[in-house]
Structure 1
Amino acid sequence: MDVVERLRDENEMLREKLRQLEDVLKPEVNAPEGCHLTPSELLIFRHLSLGRLSSRDNLRSILYSDRVDEPDTYNIIDVFIVSLRKKLRPYGFALETVWGRGWKLVRLQEEAE
């Protein structure tokens, strides 16, 4: 086996491992029926629906892990959060800000308790 062929095999193996990791990090959780989310908003919703606190850097890496060479998009996360808040509120969800740490998805009933 020559070097190029070995590197192709290794590359294919690494791509499969990456696909498996992405499946774990981007679970198949559906948005509420009738809530029309963009693909990026859906990725954020799916991640936050795991119940964990997510930082700006964490959300950015989920959205742009395949585009590391693109210019910094630091504030775009704020745009997605604002949009998600507006779209999810009628369906009983809220995005709670934990200052200095990130956001978490909560049900509005839980917020009142």
Structure 2
Amino acid sequence: MNMLTEKIKVAIVEDDLDLQEVMKEFLESSGFDTFCFNDSEQFFAQASFNQYDAFLVDRKLPGRSGLEVVRALKAKRISGPIIMVTGQSEPNEVVEGLEAGADDYITKPFHYQVLAIKIRNLVERFRALSTMREPLRLINGERLQLLENSLELKSGDERVRFTRTEFQIFCPLFLKLGLFVKRESLFEGDSLQKSRSLDVHVAAIRKKIRPFGLDLETLRGVGYRLVEPDSQAEINFMN
């Protein structure tokens, strides 16, 4: 994925001042601009939300928690991705953060280079979504396109046809490549029937898209994201 040419502005909301300083120094040495806040109260009092391209939010903040910060940012309809920083020994924090509206997560301790790549990739995807005018993606150098009239995924001379329901489920996942989409936003209907039907449709979609170098990653009870199989090891949610 191409690196962004302009500096990415990252808001860091972290009460561990040592960790905050290390993140700040590494990200700035990697070409980012950083804006640090020691807790949620300082963040809400001083931050200019629309000036940031991405947000790093610690799950366990004094006062208003990281979950509350995420919910407030989503309510403000900010345009950048939110990455929740969680404890490695608390897998439930991942689920809670994503349910609150975080777009991704990283667990402590983490490699700072991985963090920098994650931020760049998410910001690039968000910017692409904001300017995209047609359902088109470039995967492993191949041009993939969704064709609404024929309910097909196309790459060169290769095509696969979806049922209308499969297409309706796959389309938001395709448009938000690499980002989680909640289960409840993918399918309408009675809750129990919806859950069972969605699982069946997702299984069918997986079989159809794998020849195109794509797969669906599941976070149980939360949702799915469309990924390139080679990238799953790096971003496996349940390690």
Name the TM-score, length of structure 2 as normaliser.
0.30
1:58 aligns with one of 185, 190, 213: 185
The one-letter code of the counterpart of 1:76 is: S
Give the equivalent residue in structure 1 for 2:168: 43
Distance 1:35 1:109 in 2: 22
Helix, strand or coil at the partner of 1:100: coil
Per residue, is there more strand in 1 or in 2? Answer: 2
Distance 2:186 2:224 in 1: 10
Structure 1: any 5+ residue segments left out of the alignment? 1-26, 65-69
Per residue, is there more helix in 1 or in 2? Answer: 1
1:109: Cα distance to partner? Answer: 2.9
Confirm or deny that 1:80 pairs with 2:229: no
Give the equivalent residue in structure 2 for 1:13: none
Structure 2: any 5+ residue segments left out of the alignment? 1-132, 136-145, 147-152, 235-239
1:28: Cα distance to partner? Answer: 5.2
Distance 1:86 1:109 in 2: 17
The one-letter code of the counterpart of 1:77 is: L
Give the equivalent residue in structure 2 for 1:103: 224
Distance 1:97 1:39 in 2: 22
Identity %: 32
Confirm or deny that 1:89 pairs with 2:207: no
Say which one has the larger Rg.
2
Name the TM-score, length of structure 1 as normaliser.
0.59
Give the equivalent residue in structure 1 for 2:154: 32
The one-letter code of the counterpart of 2:201 is: F
CA 1:96–1:36 in 2, change beyond 3 Å: closer, same or farther?
A: same
Distance 2:185 2:165 in 1: 14
Distance 1:97 1:85 in 2: 11
1:112: Cα distance to partner? Answer: 5.1
